[in-house]
Amino acid sequence: MSSLVKCPHCGLRPREEFTIRGEVAAPRPSAGADEATWFDHVYLRDNPRGEHREYWHHAGGCRRWLVLSRNTLTHETSDVVDASTLKTEGAR
């Protein structure tokens, strides 16, 4: 796993400044969505060998939530973005 994380706001920072929430799961369903959709959102997580997107929180820095894309096999981190961009991009 990465030892250094390129925070889009703070630059290259040590991993210890971050906390990891886990996989970027299915987006939060609408209030009217059926129970199965909600169950998937709350409980269903993948554990892939390869590309993986996770929520990382820069808790010891800017306190922004980030989405980090990394390869669980090669440990390569391909992308780090502010998590707020996920929804704005998705809405487009």
Write the DSSP symbol of residue 60. T
CA 88: distance to chain centroid?
15
Residues 52-71 that bind other proteins (CB under 8 A): 55, 57, 59, 63-65
Which one among 33, 44, 51, 60 touches other proteins, defined by CB under 8 A?
A: 33
CB of 46 to other proteins, least distance (A): 18
CB of 31 to other proteins, least distance (A): 4
C-alpha count within 13 angstroms, C-beta hemisphere, residue 26: 13
3 binds other proteins (CB under 8 A): yes
CA 11: distance to chain centroid?
17
